Structure 1
Amino acid sequence: MDKGRIVKALAGFYYIDDGHEVHQCRARGKFRKQDIKPVVGDFVEFQKGNHDDGYLLKILERKNVLRRPPIANIDQALLVFSRKEPDFSTILLDKFLLLIEHYHIRPIIVISKMDIEGDDSIYQYIQEYRNAGYTVIETSSKQNKGIDEIKEIFKDQVTVITGQSGVGKSTLLNALDISLNLETNQISKALGRGKHTTRHVELMNLYDGYVADTPGFSSLELEMEPIEAARAYHDFDEYATDCKFRGCLHDSEPHCAVKEAVDEGKISKERYEHYLTMLKELKEKKEKRYD
């Protein structure tokens, strides 16, 4: 039995890299019966084809999997947000961070288009996220700023590149490796965001690691329990060990160490307010499920 990793899924075919070559395979019908679908990033067992397509036989254990975009076994995520065009969005970034950290994926914040003049408040935000323990890389594809720093973090990692539509994900990848020549589009001035240029998930070998360019999207559906959200942010969770009540949601509970950290300026008040907004959304979803 051969083993490998799915590096592309397209039109019913799965392309599996066994470390030497990539094999085109179809999936057995049993996956539909088991209600599980192979996704890019999956480690699998497969049977090579002699003169035609091979067959994907088994999906091996996953350490994590995202539903949108569909990709598994991710080590880290580059969350690409632009300084301008579209404007930097802290609420959307905090939503991405909640989702990514919930799946135990290391987030790396990339601020693109730093060559464009804009509100200097971006520097305050960059410092706040760095103070919270996040890696923040400032980039400009035009000026080649931050590109070498990103290249160094790909080695031996599976990296997903995602973020708000129109922030320059494909442009960033082209700056990292010009041979990729990925399609890019101009910002739609009428919509204030970019058109979706990436149409499927694919893992590419880049700087001794795998990099995924994923379809862009500008909204996220949070699918987790409220208590999972309370434990997702790494910096919130560090303080949560000192909360009086086990299972504290850092909302209305007394003697909450996270709320105390906010009052003392150790946690950004804006990030905490974003968390409360998302927590409310999750609570309402949970109530509807049990109605």
Structure 2
Amino acid sequence: MPEGKIVKALSGFYYVLHNQELIQCRGRGVFRKNKVTPLVGDEVVFQAENDTEGYILEVKERKNELVRPPIANVDQAILVFSAVEPDFSTVLLDRFLVLVEYNHIKPLICITKMDLTNEKQKMNIAGYAHDYEEAGYDVILTSSETESGIQQLYPHIEDRITVVAGQSGVGKSSLLNVLRPDLELKTNDISSHLGRGKHTTRHVELIKIGNGLVADTPGFSSLDFTEIEADELTSCFPELLNASENCKFRGCLHVSEPKCGVKQAVESGEIPIYRYEHYLDFLKEIKDRKPRY
């Protein structure tokens, strides 16, 4: 039986890429019975009825999956945040980073709209970029208007499935339009009333850029830490995880425990105070979460 990858899901149809051809498939009833929903990014076995239509028979094992947006087997997330309009938000970026790290997806931070910044804003962004690079993240500063920094993105996209995610209105569609101009994705200006953009993307689709596949998604509609437990949060902050090796007590949550390596690293300036404060806020949020039964 032929195998392929689902690159688009729309109105009950799954579009499977096989030998550079798209086969429009439906899922067999067995999936509903077994509560398996095929996702964009899935490797599947299908049966072709003819050259353009068929049925999905089997979904191969996934290495990861996201619920919102619904996509599987993601290698990387490009987290797109604007320097201004809307203003750069470390707390929102850190929420995205935690969710991406928890799902074992490699993050790449892309800060857009650098052409709109003044000198003071440029210096602030450069400082934040340095902090995140010190934590172990790749950071690329871009402008879709001037195309500055865009070329740096191509090597990261090659041979990977990449999700483009971030706050609405930061220029995700504009960025993809520069990476692949023939896409002509719809973009919306920032609403001056709301201070944020409207979602312009309605379904998940993998778009070929170079030798990579990039998902233009409706974005993370939920940034809640519903799946993460308190003792798992440290591992979602790479620099806290490194510093935690110096904690005296196993299972240290870096709040009020004595001889905590993380708190020592914060006091010495190795870990930026805002990253640690976000960790504490997220930890409290997880601890205050209503129990699930």
> What TM-score does the superposition give when structure 1 sets the normalisation length?
0.94
* Aligned residue among 119, 125, 128 for 2:128: 125
Alpha-carbon distance in structure 1 between the residues aligned to 2:47 and 2:135: 47
Gaps of 5+ in 1: none
* Aligned residue among 197, 209, 212 for 1:209: 212
Alpha-carbon distance in structure 1 between the residues aligned to 2:246 and 2:114: 39
Alpha-carbon distance in structure 2 between the residues aligned to 1:25 and 1:140: 38
Match of 2:239 in 1: 235
- Equivalent residues of 1:48, 1:55 under 8 A apart: yes
Match of 2:114 in 1: 114
1:175: Cα distance to partner?
0.8
How many residue pairs align between the two structures?
289
Q: For 1:107-134, what per-residue CA distance to the aligned partner results, in whole angstroms no more than 9, with x for missing partners? A: 1100000000243422211111111111
Match of 2:76 in 1: 76
- Equivalent residues of 1:102, 1:233 under 8 A apart: no
Alpha-carbon distance in structure 2 between the residues aligned to 1:158 and 1:214: 13
Letter of the 1:50 counterpart: N
Letter of the 1:117 counterpart: T
Q: Which moved more, 1:43-52 or 1:206-215?
A: 43-52
Q: Which moved more, 1:193-202 or 1:247-256?
A: 247-256
Q: Which moved more, 1:120-129 or 1:271-280?
A: 120-129
Q: Which moved more, 1:90-99 or 1:262-271?
A: 262-271
Letter of the 1:230 counterpart: T
1:86: Cα distance to partner?
0.8
- Equivalent residues of 2:23, 2:51 under 8 A apart: no
SS of 2:219's equivalent? coil
Q: For 1:243-274, what per-residue CA distance to the aligned partner results, in whole angstroms no more than 9, with x for missing partners? A: 22222222232222122211111111101101
Mapping of residues 113-262 of structure 1, within 5 Å = 113-118=113-118, 119=121, 120-217=123-220, 220-222=223-225, 223-262=227-266
Q: For 1:12-47, what per-residue CA distance to the aligned partner results, in whole angstroms no more than 9, with x for missing partners? A: 000111233111111112222222211111111111
> What TM-score does the superposition give when structure 2 sets the normalisation length?
0.94
Gaps of 5+ in 2: none
Are 1:275 and 2:279 an aligned pair?
yes
Q: Percent of pairs identical after alignment?
A: 56
SS of 1:195's equivalent? coil
Match of 1:105 in 2: 105
Letter of the 2:235 counterpart: R
Letter of the 1:200 counterpart: H
Q: For 1:212-234, what per-residue CA distance to the aligned partner results, in whole angstroms no more than 9, with x for missing partners? A: 11113575122211122121222
Letter of the 2:165 counterpart: T
Alpha-carbon distance in structure 2 between the residues aligned to 1:33 and 1:233: 39
1:52: Cα distance to partner?
7.1
1:289: Cα distance to partner?
2.8
Match of 1:34 in 2: 34
Alpha-carbon distance in structure 1 between the residues aligned to 2:108 and 2:50: 43
Match of 1:85 in 2: 85
Match of 2:5 in 1: 5
- Equivalent residues of 1:230, 1:248 under 8 A apart: no
RMSD between aligned alpha carbons? 1.6
